[in-house]
Structure 1
């Protein structure tokens, strides 16, 4: 039986943490709560110019609400993992295969698919939380066009503990969440935000400054990178990409700030992975998975506007 995405309460992860003397440590993480107001709607209406919006730009009923969850009450399962092969890294995180240790599901009727762990960078806790929020918000599209996500987990660090992955796979971006702020505010000048008394939610401000907390996302492993068809008119690739991003647009999610080849993957091979699910919006079954949501925007734009924004960046895929 497929394990519900909210079944895991704690995760023990081997191979991630060590003592300052070099000895390895087991790291036990606890599931974090994601608050509804962690991500605000873009564009910020209080900073809108005094211009009448063009017809059809905005949804007539405002931002798309999250459909009611179909998950059971949160579970209390404990998942034992060992850090595996390095897969890749980016602006906010470092991704590894996650080996499920033999007793991971010993007392459960459920089975997990192959998993990965995304280790959030020390200076990007806010970005990591935004990504976790979007996976939670897009619950109805997990297994459709986004990976199934089994939770956002936290560990409080002590001065005697080290995370070697942070130094082994450093980011080339020297900026931090505390400097940049969340993606919904990035295009505005700080003085304009202050004038209107606009700021991130308290939890997001707290996470931007956090340096003693270690966060991970546990997700199903997807397939390899999406490969465009080597044809002159790309008649097969473009519709598949557009259809995948359209599913997100139905939820008011615009990914156009971060559309690139490494963020578009194939669906996992089933088995050992889980099969793709049909879309609740279009009924379509996709073989594409979209990843990396730390720069995603929650908007009240229409589906057509969001899709147009995304299609303008398909040349980067």
Structure 2
């Protein structure tokens, strides 16, 4: 949608001036397809990352406040200052407030993968997942000022992986902290057309001297499900059913989430108009599911028929399960 993202009030520059960063739209990071077939058909053209070369327009935002921190990133609310196409303002194209998800220094690669999932879930945006307004990045060398205090990183409570993740959860066959599921050699991942292998993100390495700023611009949502459905209580009427419907929606698009918890469902507080009704259930869902950096995708069109139901079944099986659904996992705060 936009070629350039400008974010003001990001902290202080080296000259102690208010920090402004300017980022460019960048390509996402395609995943390998997930399939049980021993020799599945190659994926279609839509599997490739979206071309950003023809994008136009400048989106200017002003940081408001920190929302939460997760394993790979930190989120902030931001106010839309201006939206410009060919010098014409079209600010009504976006809501007044949006959400920014900044990758932690080491995790731009994972955020690029999450951006790709939003592209693949375009049919679910605004109904079962948040709307996504673009993925942007830049290195600090490309900025006018070198910041002493870049808020999205200076305010982190957990800037690096925990000892538990480093010792227990990172696959032994992967050197980088910023690993993704299809980096691990398994027989169920297929990259016949090389969309993953040929992506510049495939070999991206974090640089301490010139770190990358990566940002997803998303729809601003409300509180997480854990604030509506406590572990030891029965959910209010219709809550479980709506969560299951949302999980079925993304499963029908081929998404195997792999981290369905009460912290990854956020309440939708926007206007509930008829044009955002879910095409599968014909209703306006109260919830959106988030966080896809460790997800997998099944090729619904070309994949093995036996796997097409698999994401839907797996996404819903843990909803309400005490051992999993209320597990803190990688959620540091909400």
**Interval of TM-score (by shorter of Structure 1 and Structure 2):** 0.7 to 0.9
1:52 aligned partner: none
What is the distance in 2 between the residues matched to 1:107 and 1:75? 16
Match of 2:93 among 111, 136, 146: 111
Please give the secondary structure, in 2, of the residue aligned with 1:24.
coil
CA contact 2:27–2:112 (8 Å) conserved in 1: no
Q: How does 1:1-317 map to 2 (within 5 A)?
A: 6=1, 8-16=2-10, 18-34=12-28, 38-43=30-35, 75-101=55-81, 103-104=82-83, 107-108=89-90, 110-113=92-95, 114-158=97-141, 160-162=146-148, 163-169=150-156, 170-171=158-159, 173-174=161-162, 175=166, 178-179=176-177, 181-186=179-184, 188=186, 200-209=197-206, 212-226=211-225, 227-228=228-229, 232=234, 236-256=238-258, 258-270=259-271, 277-300=276-299, 302-314=307-319, 315=321, 316-317=325-326
* Residues 172 and 181 of structure 1: CA distance in aligned 2, closer, same or farther (over 3 Å): closer
TM-score of the superposition, structure 2-length normalised? Answer: 0.71
Q: Runs of 5+ in structure 2 lacking a partner?
A: 48-52, 191-195, 300-305, 327-334
Distance 2:287 2:129 in 1: 8
Q: Alpha carbons of 1:11 and 1:186: their partners in 2 closer, same or farther (altered >3 Å)?
A: same
Cα 1:225/1:307, change in 2 over 3 Å: same
* Counterparts of 1:126 and 1:44, CA distance in 2: 26
1:80 Cα shift?
1.4
Deviation (angstroms), 1:269: 2.6
Are the structure 2 counterparts of residues 119 and 179 from structure 1 closer, same or farther at C-alpha, using a change threshold of 3 Å? closer
Q: What secondary structure sits across from 1:91 in the alignment?
A: coil
SS at match of 1:95: strand
CA 228–200 in structure 1, closer or farther in 2 if over 3 Å, else same: farther
Q: Aligned equivalents of 1:148 and 1:74: distance in 2?
A: 21
**Aligned residue for 2:193?**
none
Q: For 1:25, what is the secondary structure of its paired residue?
A: coil
Q: Structure 1 stretch 167-176 or stretch 26-35: which is displaced more?
A: 167-176
89-98 or 238-247: bigger deviation: 238-247
Residues in 2 aligned to 1:254 and 1:15: alpha-carbon distance in whole angstroms = 37
**1:74 CA drift (Å):** 5.9
**Aligned CA distance change for structure 1 residues 233 and 154 (closer, same or farther; 3 Å):** closer
Question: C-alpha separation between the residues in 2 aligned to 1:178 and 1:138?
Answer: 27
Aligned length: 283
- Aligned-pair CA distance for 1:283: 3.4
Structure 1 residues without counterparts, runs of 5 or longer: 1-5, 49-57, 68-72, 194-198
TM-score (normalizing by structure 1):
0.75
Q: Aligned partners of 2:298 and 2:205: how far apart in 1?
A: 22
Shift of 1:143: 0.3
Corresponding residue SS for 1:178: coil
Deviation at 1:126, TM superposition (A): 0.9
